[in-house]
């Protein structure tokens, strides 16, 4: 099998993501991340909840303490029929702030997206909905930074950045710290330049409530060949917003903190969930990718092709006995990226506890091809999975037959 064309394609996609996007960011200059200081809308922070235990109490307390006018900021927690005491802990926090915290409970286990929709419908007084995962810590200035990016009526969503709190816990968390850096600070440059970011993280993203209500019928009926899909809700929502003709942005000035998996089982479970999400999203986006800005559309489709062909490149090298040379190529590439991470201004501004030595990115040279080779086909054959699949939650079967874990 001649792998040269595939190899060249991989290099082109790599250059497009890492180099051309950076070039466009430099060209755009100060217009890359425009903000305003005269917009202070009413905000409801929506927290989807499932089996977080007493940690949800601390999350709620931290959210009501954010740097934003108290009379314009409320928190709505929506519990998806947790099987532990999460709901009771959320209610305890609500009793402390009865005018600012509201706790809802879904009638049955329906998944994260429908739970968020439930909370959005109830937030009738909010102009902006900020979606926050139940296990993250939000920076005090995050809400202000997010709403400041709504500089035009057609901007429907603004996402924030995610930092890893357990960056130096072990080799795996260190590697992911650098992976998060490139995923948010570098790889989205092209999409950010065109104001068409195709995936805004559910960890921290602000939306115009009016747009969420406009898209509610689509969001409520998400399925794959009749099978309800509960994973990848943030990617699906972002794509629907772009498809509807709105602009989506991301800013690194708004950020939150989360924990990275510290075991290979947890890491590969996360990667499998993301692989499924990517595959389903790309399949759904093919029909309207032509509506995107040409550069974004080409970037979007090339990433789908890369996802599918890269495993064949790895197999070909395994078959002809040149897998070691492929790994050597990855090691060199990863080493260059580690160098970039180490000297990047945004990295050097971070508190030392959130920075890691670039050498810890080297395991990615093995884990990345392994993930492509094993998890891509596994993801293709398990697209019917309809669970939360986060943080090792136990499965629960809802009254309508849905599963959540």
| pLDDT by residue, tens only, the chain of 405 residues | 566 777 777 777 888 888 888 888 888 888 889 999 999 999 999 999 998 988 899 899 999 999 999 999 999 999 999 999 999 999 999 999 999 999 999 888 878 888 899 999 999 999 999 999 988 999 999 999 999 999 999 999 999 999 999 999 999 999 999 999 999 888 899 999 999 999 999 899 999 999 999 999 988 888 777 777 777 889 999 999 999 999 999 999 999 999 999 999 999 999 998 999 999 899 888 888 888 888 899 889 988 988 888 888 888 888 888 888 888 988 998 999 999 999 998 898 888 889 999 999 999 999 998 899 999 999 888 887 655 444 444 433 333 333 332
Closest C-alpha among 154, 133, 130 to residue 144 = 130
Model pLDDT, residue 3: 67
**Phi then psi dihedrals of residue 8, to 5 deg:** -65, -40
| Angle formed at CA 191 by CA 303 and CA 372, multiple of 5 degrees | 25
Model pLDDT, residue 385: 66
End-to-end CA, the chain: 41
Instruction: For residue 204, give the DSSP letter.
Output: E
User: From CA 30, how far away is CA 48, in angstroms rounded?
Assistant: 35
User: Is 173 in a helix, a strand, or coil?
Assistant: helix
List the structure tokens of 363.
Answer: 């395991």
User: From CA 194, how far away is CA 387, in angstroms rounded?
Assistant: 33
Model pLDDT, residue 123: 93
With tokens 């309800």, the residue in question is 228
Element (H or E) spanning 189, and its range? helix 189-193
**Domain extent for 364:** 1-405
Domain count, the chain: 1
User: From CA 143, how far away is CA 361, in angstroms rounded?
Assistant: 31
Closest C-alpha among 209, 202, 199, 195 to residue 155 = 195
Contacts of 383 by beta carbon, 8 Å cutoff, 6+ apart: 224, 229, 276, 279, 280
User: Is 260 in a helix, a strand, or coil?
Assistant: coil
Cβ contact 361:334 at 8 Å: yes
The 8 Å CB, 24+ separation contacts for 11-18 are: 12/302, 13/302, 13/303, 13/306, 14/333, 16/190, 16/299, 16/302, 17/186, 17/187, 17/190, 17/299, 18/182, 18/186, 18/187, 18/337
The 8 Å CB, 24+ separation contacts for 94-98 are: 94/60, 96/61, 97/60, 97/64
Length reported for the chain: 405
Helices (H), 46-137: 55-63, 86-96, 112-122
Closest C-alpha among 50, 120, 136, 130 to residue 89 = 50
Helix axes 209-220, 112-122, angle to 10 degrees: 140
Mark residue 330 as left, alpha or beta (left: phi above 0; alpha: psi -120 to 50; beta: remaining).
alpha
List the structure tokens of 395.
Answer: 């499965």
CATH of the domain at 107: 3.90.550.10
How many C-beta neighbours within 10 Å does residue 351 have?
Answer: 8
């Amino acid at each position: 099998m001649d792998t040269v064309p595939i190899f060249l394609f991989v290099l082109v996609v790599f250059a497009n993501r890492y180099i051309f996007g950076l070039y466009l960011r430099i060209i755009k200059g100060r217009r890359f991340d425009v903000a305003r200081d005269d917009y202070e809308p009413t905000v409801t922070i929506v927290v989807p909840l499932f089996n977080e235990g007493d940690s949800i109490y601390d999350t709620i307390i931290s959210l009501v303490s954010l740097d934003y006018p108290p009379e314009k900021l409320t928190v709505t927690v929506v519990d998806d029929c947790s099987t532990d005491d999460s709901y009771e802990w959320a209610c305890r926090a609500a009793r402390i702030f009865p005018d600012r915290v509201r706790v809802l409970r879904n009638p049955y286990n329906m998944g994260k997206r429908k739970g968020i929709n439930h909370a959005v419908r109830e937030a009738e007084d909010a102009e902006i909905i900020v979606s926050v995962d139940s296990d993250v810590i939000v920076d005090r200035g995050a809400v202000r930074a997010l709403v400041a990016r709504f500089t035009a009526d057609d901007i429907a969503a603004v996402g924030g950045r995610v930092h890893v709190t357990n960056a130096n816990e072990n080799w795996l968390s260190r590697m992911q710290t650098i992976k998060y850096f490139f995923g948010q600070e570098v790889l989205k440059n092209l999409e950010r330049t065109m104001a068409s970011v195709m995936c805004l993280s559910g960890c921290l993203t602000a939306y115009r409530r009016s747009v969420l209500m406009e898209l509610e019928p689509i969001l409520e009926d998400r399925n794959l060949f009749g099978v309800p899909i509960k994973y990848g809700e943030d990617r699906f929502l972002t794509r629907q917003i772009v498809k509807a003709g709105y602009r989506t942005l991301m800013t690194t000035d708004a950020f939150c903190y989360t924990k990275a998996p510290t075991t290979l089982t947890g890491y590969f479970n996360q990667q499998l969930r993301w692989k499924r999400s990517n595959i389903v999203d790309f399949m759904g986006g093919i029909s309207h990718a032509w509506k995107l800005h040409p550069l974004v559309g080409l970037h979007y489709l090339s990433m789908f092709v890369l996802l599918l062909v890269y495993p064949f490149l790895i197999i070909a090298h395994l078959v002809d006995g040149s897998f070691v040379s492929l790994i050597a190529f990855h090691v060199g590439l990863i080493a260059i990226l580690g160098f970039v991470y180490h000297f990047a201004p945004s990295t050097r501004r971070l508190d030392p506890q959130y920075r890691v030595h670039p050498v810890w990115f080297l395991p990615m040279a093995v884990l990345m091809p392994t993930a492509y080779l094993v998890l891509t086909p596994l993801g293709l054959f398990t697209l019917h999975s309809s669970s939360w699949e986060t943080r090792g939650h136990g499965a629960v079967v809802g009254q309508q037959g849905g599963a959540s874990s």
